[in-house]
Chain A
Amino acid sequence: MTATIGEAAAEQDIFDGAIAADERIEPRDWMPDAYRATLVRQIAQHAHSEIIGMQPESNWITRAPSLRRKAILMAKVQDEAGHGLYLYSAAETLGVRRDELLDKLHAGRQKYSSIFNYPTLTWADVGAIGWLVDGAAIMNQVPLCRCSYGPYARAMVRICKEESFHQRQGYELLLTLSRGTPEQHAMAQDAVNRWWWPSMMMFGPPDDESTHSAQSMAWKIKRHSNDELRQRFVDASAPQAEILGLTLPDPDIRWNEERGHYDSGPIDWTEFWDVLAGNGPCNDQRLTQRREAHENGAWVREAAASYAAKHAAGRGEAAV
């Protein structure tokens, strides 16, 4: 803060050099304020998504139709809480506190992924979330393992391993339903119909409308554009749907020999912006549940803090 203009320029040069050389920026390194702010925003939003993302799935824990599936689902929701913890820790290396980020989430001042504003209406939704939502998340997150900010990149390495496991489990769940009774097959198809387009929207607005993209790519926080990642997702999903024996709800999906990619139909961006603005099917419900969990738990956290303070002296003596 007391650096002269000359020192600041030198810091900027070192930072630019590190980015150009594909080196990692670490918490104690100098970084531009805007780089720090962008990372805080993105990592916090990512952490919030893990935490809010527990809700649509835990909605089915008590109704899971076999003990094996129930165990898988419980383990997955537990992993998500763990991912949230990694990510809040990564954000904290940038000089913010988990508490203040949670407060911003609860106040609606920081966002989470719009996908979690859709309801899980049948058991098959648990599979569709695993296959499509986790699949889209992985497309987004694997390049983040090479993100220029070290703590975020390292968190993503751990998270991506677990996410790809969840995705395979979701796929296997849908495959079982698809090959099951006619009712189970229909349940699977219905879930894919409802989750396909929201999953496509997880990559964010089209490149020409994405406000943060260019700067994030220059900083090597982001490695690929929204549309590029979306294309990869379509290319991966279309053949997987065929193996599943399910169809994607987009009549325009077909292989384009010339491009070497699948073509797909237009996305309803009105819906995307609506959900983002808080008007999706579950926005209120998700935020209310999160706020209630936090508020109802306040006395527990206060008790833990009070107990720790009372016994801190004793522990200090013991340590000597």
Chain B
Amino acid sequence: MTSAALALGDDALILSHRLGEWAGHAPALEEEVALANIALDLLGQARVLLSMVGDEDELAFLREERAFRNLQLVEQPNGDFAHTIARQLYFSGFQELLYERLAAGDGPFRPLAGKAVKEVAYHRDHAEHWTLRLGDGTAESHARMQRGLAELWRFTGEMFQPVEGLDLDWAGLESVWLERVTEVVERATLTLPEGPRTGAWTAGAGRQGLHTEPFGRMLAEMQHLYRSHPGATW
């Protein structure tokens, strides 16, 4: 249970942080609201999951990079809006399938998953609608969306590497995910990227505490204040 809670909790925590970086920089006021809303949902999920393991703040602020179990996908920098949407499309589709299954099971994640699946369905809807608008919008938005999908593609295989403590049909999950993403991408007049989605480095790497370079810098910012005042309460 512990490693699964950490994996899912870290995914939510880290993606929430990345989305929080958009505050004050979004392309429209409605997106300020939407991105902050999604970030808050994810942070709420992270808090429940990390609390199943220990003290949420100690886990968030005192672990070093090698101890985090999140997917490499969620730690990727925001890039432009299309890049962020591509990350959301890939991840929210995965998270929705995952939580649907966990909500239907009788494991320790059932209560959380039952609530989270409603939030995640909204996140997926948001990502899909923007994928359609950007893909089928202007020539520039089409190109940017295609680039976002391509750049993040190699991180998607990791989502379906089995996580210890989650007894799921991972291969089945992957094929449904692939089917759904393909449908949206094609409807958006885009093409699904080709190229490897798994490899020696990407497959399961984040889950094993092997992260990409931007992650350490992100943690430095996130943890700085907490670490500067050992033992303080906030």
Contacts and interface: CB of A to CB of B under 8 A. Distances in A.
Interface residues of B, number: 49
A71 B46 CA distance: 11
Contact of B24 (A68, A181, A293, A303): A293
Contacts of A308: 133
A67 B226 CA distance: 11
> Which secondary structure characterizes the binding site on chain A?
helix
Given A66-B57, A85-B30, A301-B28, A183 B229 contact: yes
A242 B61 CA distance: 33
A164 interface: no
B44 interface: yes
21 contacts: A54-B23, A55-B24, A61-B20, A62-B221, A65-B234, A66-B57, A66-B234, A71-B40, A71-B47, A74-B40, A78-B37, A81-B32, A123-B234, A184-B229, A289-B25, A293-B25, A300-B28, A301-B28, A302-B141, A306-B137, A306-B138
B23 A184 contact: no
A63 B224 contact: yes
Contacts of B43: 67, 70-71, 74
Contacts of B24: 54-55, 58, 77, 289, 293
Nearest to A122: B225
A307 B233 contact: no
A51 interface: yes
B29 interface: yes
Interface in B133-155: 133-134, 136-138, 140-141, 144
B231 to A, nearest CB: 8
Interface of B: 13, 17, 20-21, 23-33, 36-37, 39-40, 43-44, 46-47, 50, 56-57, 60-61, 80-81, 132-134, 136-138, 140-141, 144, 221-222, 224-226, 229, 231-234
Nearest to A289: B24
Nearest to A63: B225
A307 to B, nearest CB: 4
Contacts of A183: 229, 232
A70 B222 CA distance: 10
A293 B37 contact: no
A84 B136 contact: no
Contacts of A289: 24-25
A297 interface: yes
Contacts of B25: 289, 292-293, 296
Contact of A78 (B32, B136, B224): B32
Given A65-B234, A176-B233, A180-B232, A75 B40 contact: yes
Contacts of A54: 23-24, 32
A304 B81 CA distance: 12
Contact of A85 (B29, B221, B222, B233): B29
A74 B225 contact: no
A307 B33 contact: no
A125 B74 CA distance: 30
A300 B30 CA distance: 12
Contacts of A82: 33
A28 interface: no
A78 B37 CA distance: 7
Contacts of B21: 61-62
A293 B47 CA distance: 30
Pairs A-B, 3 closest by C-beta atoms: A297-B27, A303-B137, A303-B141
Contacts of A55: 24
B190 to A, nearest CB: 13
A123 B225 contact: yes
Nearest to A187: B229
Interface string A275-297: 00000000000000100110011
